[in-house]
């Protein structure tokens, strides 16, 4: 290696070193704003195989928040897959009709992870809360309503409030806008 290449390497290292240390430090902050609580009643699942389940959204679902309130309409569904590592993946789609007659398409993916104990309780039909297991979702929304058009431009996150399978199955989330 000649001196010219060594100098070039040293200069490049000196320039890149501050960038490498910056990459290890966050440069932004995430804030959230409460949007709504979403309650989704579910029919018993259609079991496709040992890893895939489809849950129909039953009538009676609702959304309540400071800027949005409404009911969930049919059709709606939750396509759930059990993954090899023991967690579950959600793929959910539904329509929300607001209390002032506007339609909002709601779609989210998410991940569910149980301990052995929480999974046993879940399968027995007990109602579980966020302290019992992990269930986080990432909703987006779409609407042509001028009043709710701002929802087309935000990413949301949600965390389970409660879930129950079996008779009177449901899942309920608190949904937040990421700012």
Residue 14 has pLDDT above 80, yes or no: no
**Cα 148-74-51 angle, rounded to 5 deg:** 110
DSSP letter (8 states) at residue 153: G
Look at the block and give the residue holding tokens 């009709």: 97
Q: How confident is the model at residue 49 (pLDDT cuts 50, 70, 90)?
A: very high
CA 138/CA 114 separation, integer angstroms: 19
Of 43, 49, 54, the C-alpha closest to 93 is 54
Q: Give the residue extent of every domain in the chain.
A: 28-178
Residue 130: its pLDDT value, please?
A: 95
CA 149/CA 145 separation, integer angstroms: 6
Mean of the pLDDT values across residues 11-35? 77
Q: How confident is the model at residue 3 (pLDDT cuts 50, 70, 90)?
A: confident
* Mean pLDDT estimate for the chain: 91
Instruction: Give per-residue pLDDT as tens, 57-104.
Output: 999 999 999 999 999 999 999 999 999 888 999 999 999 999 999 999
178 SS3 class: strand
pTM metric for this prediction:
0.83
Residue 153 has pLDDT above 70, yes or no: yes
Do 156 and 104 form a contact (C-beta atoms < 8 A)? no
CA 82 to chain centre: 16
Cis peptide before 75 (omega within 30 of 0): yes
End-to-end CA distance of the chain: 50
Residue 1 has pLDDT above 80, yes or no: no
Mean of the pLDDT values across residues 141-155? 98
Residue 60: its pLDDT value, please?
A: 95
Could you name the CATH architecture of 28-178? Answer: Beta Barrel (2.40)
Residue 167: its pLDDT value, please?
A: 87
């Amino acid at each position: 290696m000649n001196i010219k290449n060594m100098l070039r390497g040293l200069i490049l290292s000196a320039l890149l070193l501050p960038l490498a240390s910056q990459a290890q430090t966050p440069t932004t902050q995430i804030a959230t704003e409460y949007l709504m609580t979403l309650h989704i009643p579910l029919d018993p699942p259609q079991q496709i195989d040992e890893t895939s389940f489809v849950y129909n959204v039953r009538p009676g679902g609702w959304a309540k928040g400071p800027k949005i309130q409404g009911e969930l309409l049919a059709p709606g569904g939750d396509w759930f897959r059990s993954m090899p590592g023991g967690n579950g993946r959600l793929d959910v789609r539904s329509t929300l009709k607001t209390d002032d007659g506007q339609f909002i398409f709601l779609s989210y993916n998410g991940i569910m992870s149980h301990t052995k104990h929480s999974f046993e309780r879940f399968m027995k039909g007990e109602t579980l809360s966020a302290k019992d297991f992990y269930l986080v979702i990432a909703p987006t929304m779409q609407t042509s309503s001028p009043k709710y058009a701002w929802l087309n431009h935000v990413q949301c996150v949600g965390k389970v409030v409660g879930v129950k399978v079996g008779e009177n199955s449901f899942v309920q989330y608190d949904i937040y806008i990421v700012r």
